[in-house]
């Protein structure tokens, strides 16, 4: 049957990327930035990928990490046209969760041998598989309801 197989699947993916309001080079750039961010956190977490720290410290770390993440998201999204913000926010959420979750699974689940249980053992990582899906669209929607040039919400 024509149009089946890996080539057709790749073709559909390329078409989807083209119509998602981000260029293919932007998708690649975001993916590479997310990969570098993951590698940075991986190196920072050595020797035990943050297991050497207490749960309480990791809770504080995760909580405080939200502040710079929200600031970076705000700065990245505010320069976009309002009609593009939500789309870009969702793509950013995708690239900062799905590939990073896959990297964590490859490292923690397979390489370290924790299997799928790594999700619970490394909870301080896995909470960030959900947080961007809430935080990034929320920032985009809040930015869309702010008055231009002001830091107050419109009604």
Q: What is the per-residue pLDDT across 27-64, written as a single tens digit (0 to 9) for each? A: 999 999 999 999 999 999 999 999 999 999 999 999 99
Q: Which residue has the higher pLDDT, 9 or 41?
A: 41
C-beta separation of 100 from 38 below 8 A: yes
- CB atoms inside a 10 Å sphere around CB 104: 21
10: Cα separation from own chain's centroid:
22
What are 90-138's pLDDT values in tens digits?
Answer: 999 999 999 999 999 999 999 999 999 999 999 999 999 999 999 999 9
Domain boundaries, the chain: 20-144
Does the N-terminal peptide bond of residue 104 adopt cis geometry, omega within 30 degrees of 0? no
What CA–CA distance (Å, rounded) separates 36 from 55? 25
For residues 60-76, give the mean pLDDT: 96
Task: Give pTM, 2 decimals.
Answer: 0.80
């Amino acid at each position: 049957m024509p149009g089946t197989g890996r080539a057709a699947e790749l073709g559909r993916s390329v078409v989807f990327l083209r119509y998602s309001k981000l260029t293919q080079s932007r998708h690649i750039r975001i993916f590479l930035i997310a990969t570098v961010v993951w590698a940075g956190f991986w190196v920072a977490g050595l020797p035990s990928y943050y297991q050497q720290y207490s749960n309480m410290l990791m809770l504080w770390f995760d909580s405080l990490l939200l502040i710079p993440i929200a600031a970076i998201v705000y700065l990245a999204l505010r320069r976009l046209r309002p009609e593009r913000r939500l789309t870009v926010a969702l793509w950013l959420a995708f690239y900062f969760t799905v590939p990073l979750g896959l990297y964590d699974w490859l490292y923690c689940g397979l390489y370290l041998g924790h299997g799928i249980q790594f999700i619970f053992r490394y909870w301080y990582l896995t909470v960030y598989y959900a947080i961007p899906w809430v935080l990034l669209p929320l920032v985009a929607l809040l930015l869309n309801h702010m008055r231009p040039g002001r830091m107050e919400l419109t009604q």
